[in-house]
Amino acid sequence: MRIQITRKQYDGEIQLWQEGSIRGVEVTLHSIPARAEHVEIQLSADRSAPAQTHTLRLLAMGENALRAESLIQVAVKPASAGNVSSIGLELVRIPAGKFIMGSPAEEEHRYLDEVQHEVEISQPFYMSAHEITVGQFRQFVEETRYTTEAEKDGEGGWGFNKATGRLEGRNPKYNWTNVGWAQGENHPVVNVTWSDAQAFCTWLSNKEGRTFRLPTEAEWEYACRAQSALPFASGSEPATLHRHANIADLSLKRPLGEEYPTWDYADFDDGFAFTAPVGSFKPNAFGLYDMHGNVWEWCEDWHGEYNVKPNRDPRGPEIGTERMVRGGSFCNGARYARAAHRTWNNPSHRGNDLGFRVVTGAVEKP
């Protein structure tokens, strides 16, 4: 914003200051240079400020008492009390509520294990707006000297071989730092196992002084739907995923179409063949990004049939051999990105399109 001053009889430097302050909002004031008629003022908020509009009074004064003042309205965005600034993780508050988990019998491409049942999420919680990124995972690895399972067991992970046009694995040359295509720091981390995700959560919990974990499968579907009962939070048809999700599309067909001609490529071009930087697509109604597509996401639960009685905060079976995975990926057609679609993997599985996001309990503002 600009603060205007009049300097008909004055050409020296003018000092600026502010009256009052707003918690969580920082105002950067520079003195007004000689002969300038206005000055740019930067406002930055750490997003922990209370959710309302505030007024700041800015004053400018020169040596001859020439004075200008301006009132600034500052609206601070709500619902960011859980923001974890230490690793740049943005958390979104998900309200408590009831929903119908699973898909109706008429939903196209549904599987029989998506039996509809009522689930109550009894407490609000926070979920990371994005999949955990390469950069965030790197910080964890650098601080803890952690070695991922794919590196430790020598088997490696999965990746794309540009020379052959094929996805291949397990191969020791692939791991979270190399998937065969360029991944910036803001791409979702892949080739991480369920245990790797657990280790990340433990590190983050210790660092932040509160518990972070993987979402339960019910929390994941509830968050993905964002109160939609349709196959996708964006609508009923796969075409509605365009600009909402990174799925297998014409972009992916270019490098992979020759070797994988029968894959289910959407007939639109979403601009990303492989992983996209998190948040490249539109968020759902809760403000969560890439719940559909980009990379599959590990959940906390063991795989099992649903308990189809109405239930509260389900956590899956007590024991099992495989962990739930949700959301589809850049490698899959829209049917696997459906909110109700369930898949699962051995906890030591690592894939070039499998990552995770985290949740933490509700933290109310002090």
177/183 Cα distance (integer angstroms): 8
Binds Ca ion by CB under 5 A, chosen from 151, 219, 221, 290: 290
Contact status: 102 vs Ca ion (CB under 5 A): no
| Phi and psi at residue 138, to the nearest 5° | -65, -40
Stretch that binds Ca ion, among 56-64, 103-111, 144-152, 288-296 (CB under 5 A): 288-296
Binding mask 48-67 for Ca ion (x = CB under 5 A): --------------------
Nearer residue to Ca ion within complex by CB, 46 or 258: 258
Binders in 319-348 for Ca ion, by CB under 5 A = 327, 330
Contact status: 222 vs Ca ion (CB under 5 A): no
| Beta partners for residue 188, in sequence order | 133
Strands (E), the chain: 2-4, 15-19, 25-28, 38-40, 42-45, 53-61, 67-75, 91-94, 97-101, 117-121, 125-128, 157-161, 166-171, 212-213, 296-302, 311-312, 323-326, 343-345, 354-355, 359-361
Nearer residue to Ca ion within complex by CB, 54 or 292: 292
CB-count burial class (<10 Å; 0-12, 13-18, 19+) for 209: exposed
Contact status: 231 vs Ca ion (CB under 5 A): no
Stretch that binds Ca ion, among 14-22, 48-56, 283-291, 333-341 (CB under 5 A): 283-291
Q: What is the smallest separation between the CB atom of 326 and Ca ion, expressed in angstroms?
A: 8
End-to-end CA distance of the chain: 31
81/91 Cα distance (integer angstroms): 8
Q: Is the dihedral of CA 324, 330, 331, 332 positive or negative?
A: positive
Contact status: 270 vs Ca ion (CB under 5 A): yes
205/219 Cα distance (integer angstroms): 19
Binds Ca ion by CB under 5 A, chosen from 80, 133, 294, 352: 294
107/115 Cα distance (integer angstroms): 11
Contact status: 275 vs Ca ion (CB under 5 A): no
Residues recorded for the chain = 366
Q: Is the dihedral of CA 214, 216, 222, 224 positive or negative?
A: positive
Binds Ca ion by CB under 5 A, chosen from 151, 249, 301, 353: 249
Stretch that binds Ca ion, among 138-146, 169-177, 236-244, 248-256 (CB under 5 A): 248-256
Contact status: 272 vs Ca ion (CB under 5 A): yes
Stretch that binds Ca ion, among 192-200, 231-239, 240-248, 331-339 (CB under 5 A): 240-248
Helix, strand or coil, per DSSP, at residue 157: strand
Q: Walk across the sheet containing 117-121 and list its strands.
A: 97-101, 117-121, 311-312
Stretch that binds Ca ion, among 26-34, 75-83, 264-272, 299-307 (CB under 5 A): 264-272
Q: What is the smallest separation between the CB atom of 17 and Ca ion, expressed in angstroms?
A: 47
Nearer residue to Ca ion within complex by CB, 60 or 136: 136
Q: What is the smallest separation between the CB atom of 56 and Ca ion, expressed in angstroms?
A: 39
Contact status: 246 vs Ca ion (CB under 5 A): yes
Residues 6 or more apart whose CB falls under 8 angstroms from that of 36 comprise none
Tell me the number of residues near Ca ion by CB under 5 A. Answer: 9
Task: Please give the residue ranges that form the binding site for Ca ion (CB under 5 A).
Answer: 246, 249, 251, 270, 272, 290, 294, 327, 330
